[in-house]
Amino acid sequence: MNEKGLSSIYAAIKKLNTVCATLSGIVLLFVTFSIFVDVFLRYFLNRPSIWITEVSTYLFLYIIFLGTAYALQQGMHIHVTFFLDWFNAKTRRMISLMTSIMAMIFTLILLWQTSIMTWEAYRERWTSPTMLNAPYRYIYIVMVFGALMLFLTFLFQTLVQFKVETKEKTEAQG
């Protein structure tokens, strides 16, 4: 795949990550407002809701998994940089490549395991053991989607970085 095609696919992934992060923020606002309403109902009117705590717990998964790939894309994940300062630029690039590969392997395992769990929840019609009786397939599917987006972001970020570094090295030599 050429550099232009790679960049255009990564640009589309970045746009989708931005949409997901925006949706994650909207869900966070809803959860925050719902919890505020539940506190008001519970302590001032003595009429607590029966669904807000459970729904908020499920929506917390949506907040996390919809926003994780965007956080990676923006460089907002935790980095331990004091160790990297000991090495030259070439060694830092190699360490960055190795950590990206390890992160992609972890993300693939996460994608694989959440896919299995979601498929079982769908096939066996798992539901929450509460009054809501919420179908778990709708709760778990966001983990599969989020893990996929995180993997694709890692992959394309690494490929674009590798292509740019290779191109810069070629231009410097030629």
17-35 pLDDT, tens digit each = 999 999 999 999 999 999 9
Domain count for the chain: 1
147: exposed, middle or buried (Cβ count in 10 Å: 0-12, 13-18, 19+):
buried
Q: Is residue 73 part of a domain?
A: yes
pLDDT score for 173: 60
pLDDT score for 75: 86
Q: Is residue 16 part of a domain?
A: yes
Q: Is residue 174 part of a domain?
A: no
Q: Is residue 93 part of a domain?
A: yes
Six-digit token pair at 54?
């459970």
Q: Is residue 86 part of a domain?
A: yes
> Which residues in the chain show pLDDT less than 50?
none
Domain hosting 90: range is 3-169
Long-range pairs of 71-78 with CB within 8 A, sequence gap ≥ 24: 71/21, 72/150, 72/153, 72/154, 72/157, 73/14, 73/17, 73/153, 73/157
